[in-house]
Structure 1
Amino acid sequence: MTETANYGAQPTSQDATVPADVENFFDKYSRGMRIVVEGAQADTGQTPKETIWTKNKARLYHYAPAAEKKHPVPILMVYALINRPYILDLMPGNSFIEFLCDEGFDVYMLDWGVPGDEDKDLDFENYVLDYLPRAVKKVLKHSGSDEFTLLGYCMGGTMSAMYASLYPEHLKNLVLLTAPIDFPEGEMGLYSLFTSEKYMNPGLLADAFGNIPGDLIDTGNRMLKPVTNYVGTYVNMWERLFEDKPMETWLAMNKWVNDGPPFPGATFRQWISEFYQQNKLSKGEIVLRGRRVDLSNIKVPLLNIAGTKDHICALPQAEATMNLVGSEDKEFFPLDAGHVGLMTGRGAKRGLWPKVSSWLGERSGA
């Protein structure tokens, strides 16, 4: 008698039982792979706000103080054209904006939005001479104040410094966070190599792409620390998943890192050529519609914050500002942190956030 294999037989309930630890392992593995393939999902930018002004893609947000408004001088935050500004309002409990609102500050933020193909010709003249003055005018009108504090982060700090040198009226305080102002050859880490005229022609890229893709900018930044950014990030994710550690902050940060908008081509051309390659800003040679940007015109109190571990804005790029501005009340405050780490997480809550609050609190009275 020939024995026939029963390939269609169903396993018994005992055979189908999967040990709980094995099932848990595969659940975590499946979750991790979905994040890798689909990207991190997280609710970001949750502090209550209203849009009070728009221009093209840009939006000006107002965040009502969560507590009684203790400081009559409003804060206008300006972020870079690279990445999205919700790093300033990452998630509840880990939000610089939420913290300042709780401290009784009146906070506004200018979100540049996501440029379309039709915005490829926007340059620093548009952003510094058109967008920023109109946003400031709206902040003053909406807040009912005659003065305001300008707070710029990263490239947004560079633009804020240029604005402050050209429009000193109504400006009460200037806060710069990891803002590159000087671009000394050989002192910018790998950026000195990446942006060298020997290897990069920004005009060719702008002509080829129109707007520079966000993914291309992101790849360049990640290559400054490739092991940390490409390997370490996901090692950290898997450790958190399998050790049952909180994932919320990791998901929010990973979403932000991979959410870079296109960079307007004309601005990119200027940024690389006139700033990185020719270092015109610190030399006083940047000219916008016939107006020379002279940083010595800045006379208001200045808080200049930088990260000693920052590989995006090297410490000398930010520290040089102290000798370029004309302010008498000025402070350089280095933190033992990187470009983004100084803004979010436990270190930020102990370092950057309370420093900005206390410094502005003394200078934001009526």
Structure 2
Amino acid sequence: MPTTKKSAAAQAVAEFSDFNLKMTRGLKMLQRLKDEDVQIATADKEVVFRQDKVTLYRYTATAKPSLKTPVLIAYGQIGRYTMTDLQEDRSMLRNLLALGVDVYAVDWGNPTRSDRWLQFEDYVDGYLNECVEFICREHRMNAINLLGICEGGVFSLCYAALYPDRIKNLILTITPVDFHQDQAEGRTNHGLLNLWTRGLGAEDIDRLIEANGNLPGELMSYVFAQMTPGATLSKYNVGLLDTFDDEKKLLNFLRMEKWIADRPHHPGEAAKQLLVNLYKNNELIRGEFQLAGRTVDLADIKVPVLNVFAKDDHIIPPKTTQALRAAVGTKDYTEIGLDGGHVGVFVSGKLQGILGKGIHDWLRKRD
């Protein structure tokens, strides 16, 4: 017994010593690293078009072209398109470039209170359409490939339904379509954003926008954090501590935190449409969503559609996305379900060889 007690005590002292050494190394790494060491979205690109606060980028080719038709990436307003190029070895965008895809991406900029009155139609009929028209002129073609992500996928659905002649192929990733299918799988930890939004009264949303002018990015960061409180509480102690043995892991952690912190405000009137017309009233799947007096009918989408969803997405549950199959008017409809969560489909090391290649191969068959 004395020997056992001594061994246990010695092991505890050794573990405590190792912990202190790990903490010391980690703190030294944190003190040494500067903001410029934590860069995201570093793929070479050039500005090719600007309108108001919106910027269109074209990325520098890194491989021989394999597709004739370029791809335009449209992210949503609640996050930033930089997620598609988080770091060199975890970048859907770089993977597409390496496969010979000509890639453009639209950056919606940083909306302020002066943008309070911008609506979905301003982004779909205005900014997104101007970007598509620019690319069509640049390449002397009538239609392009459009790749929408999250709310950007909703923009893309609206655009493809209203401007069918301008889209050759439509790719959607983690895109909500039926906003009331969040509980269809009975997973109580999924779809909390949908439940929270449906619990808000229209007057609550009006007061929120009236007070702030926009839907604050900080508020949405808080909402997303509260959807997984355990993970939120543990990532700055257990999660961060796990990176202290490896500077590369620490940089990966900090890049993700930098992206999360860079959450833009959402223009007020467009936010009302998102929260009331889509999340609360579910008008998109019901064929009632209108932009500038025109009804967005998903059955008008006759081009090939690739719909990518995350099997463990607690923000956009799979059933909310898969509802698109029965709504679109095309017979050329493909789904890809990927293991992982909402953001993991873009940054997971295991999926880096799957998402980009899956999109490329699907497009190549239709080019």
1:129 correspondence with 2:120 = no
Pairing 1:191-340 to 2, within 5 Å after superposition: 191-198=193-200, 201-232=204-235, 234-242=237-245, 246-340=249-343
Bigger drift between 190-199 and 25-34 goes to 25-34
Matched, 1:53 2:49: yes
Instruction: Give how far 1:354 is off.
Output: 1.7
Contact 1:53 1:61 in 2 (8 A): yes
The change in CA–CA distance for 1:278 and 1:259 in structure 2 (over 3 A counts) is same
Counterpart residue identity of residue 342, structure 1: V
Aligned with 1:95 (options 86, 91, 95): 91
The structure 2 residue matched to 1:354, chosen from 320, 332, 357, is: 357
Which deviations, in whole Å up to 9, do the C-alpha atoms of 1:286-318 show, x marking residues without a partner?
111111100000000100011111011111110
- Partner residue of 1:164? 160
Cα distance, 1:144–1:21 mapped onto 2, change above 3 Å? same
Q: What is the rounded CA distance, in whole Å, between the counterparts of 2:329 and 2:89 in structure 1?
A: 37
1:270 shift after superposition: 1.1
Q: CA deviation at 1:89?
A: 1.2
SS in 2 for 1:196: helix
Q: How far did 1:25 drift?
A: 4.0
What letter corresponds to residue 192 of structure 1 in structure 2?
N
CA distance in 2, matches of 1:169, 1:203: 36
Determine if contact 1:341/1:347 at 8 Å carries over to the other structure: no
- Contact 2:85/2:91 (8 A) holds in 1: yes
Letter in 2 for 1:59: T
C-alpha distance after superposition, 1:233-291 (max 9, x if no partner): 54222111146663232221111011101111111111110001100111111111111
Instruction: Kindly state the Cα deviation for residue 121 of structure 1 after the two structures are TM-superposed.
Output: 0.9
Structure 2 stretches of 5 or more lacking a match? 1-16, 184-189
1:132 Cα offset (Å): 1.1
**Matching residue of 1:189:** 191
Structure 1 residue 345 displacement after superposition: 2.5
Say which of 133, 144, 147 aligns to 1:151.
147
Say if 2:240 and 2:253, in contact at 8 Å, map to a contact too: yes
Larger Rg: 1
Q: Is this contact kept in 2: 1:150–1:160, CA < 8 A? A: yes
- 1:301-346 CA-to-partner distances (Å, cap 9, x unmatched) read 1000111110111111100001000011101111111010011131
Q: 1:103 to 1:238 in 2, by over 3 A?
A: same
Residues 20 and 172 (structure 1), Cα distance of their counterparts in 2 relative to 1, 3 Å cut: closer
Give the SS at the match of 1:180.
coil
Residues 1:348 and 1:24: Cα distance change in structure 2 (over 3 Å): closer
Over 3 Å counting, the alpha-carbon distance change for 1:162 and 1:65 in structure 2 is same
The residue matched to 2:165 in structure 1 has which SS? Answer: coil
Partner in structure 1 of residue 24 of structure 2: 26
Q: Is contact 2:99–2:357 with CA below 8 Å preserved after alignment?
A: no
Distance in 2, Cα, partners of 1:115 & 1:344: 26
Q: 1:299 to 1:186 in 2, by over 3 A?
A: closer
Describe the superposition over 1:90-148 as per-residue Cα deviations: whole angstroms up to 9, x where unpaired: 12122111111111111000110111221111110111111111110011122333321
Q: How far off is 1:192 after superposition?
A: 3.3
How many Å apart are 1:165 and its aligned residue?
0.2
232-241 vs 183-192, greater mean Cα deviation: 183-192
Q: TM-score when scaled to structure 1?
A: 0.88
The answer to whether the Cα contact below 8 Å between 1:40 and 1:254 also exists between their aligned partners in 2 is no
CA RMSD of aligned residues (A): 2.4
Q: Which runs of 5 or more structure 1 residues have no equivalent in the other structure?
A: 1-18
Percent identity, aligned pairs only, is 32
CA contact under 8 A between 2:145 and 2:168: conserved in structure 1?
Answer: yes
Cα distance between partner residues in 2 of 1:224 and 1:22 = 33
Q: 1:20 to 1:257 in 2, by over 3 A?
A: closer
Aligned to 2:72: 76
75 and 233 in structure 1: CA distance in 2 versus 1, 3 angstrom threshold: farther
TM-score normalised over the length of structure 2: 0.88
Separation (CA, whole Å) in 2 of partners of 1:304 and 1:258: 28
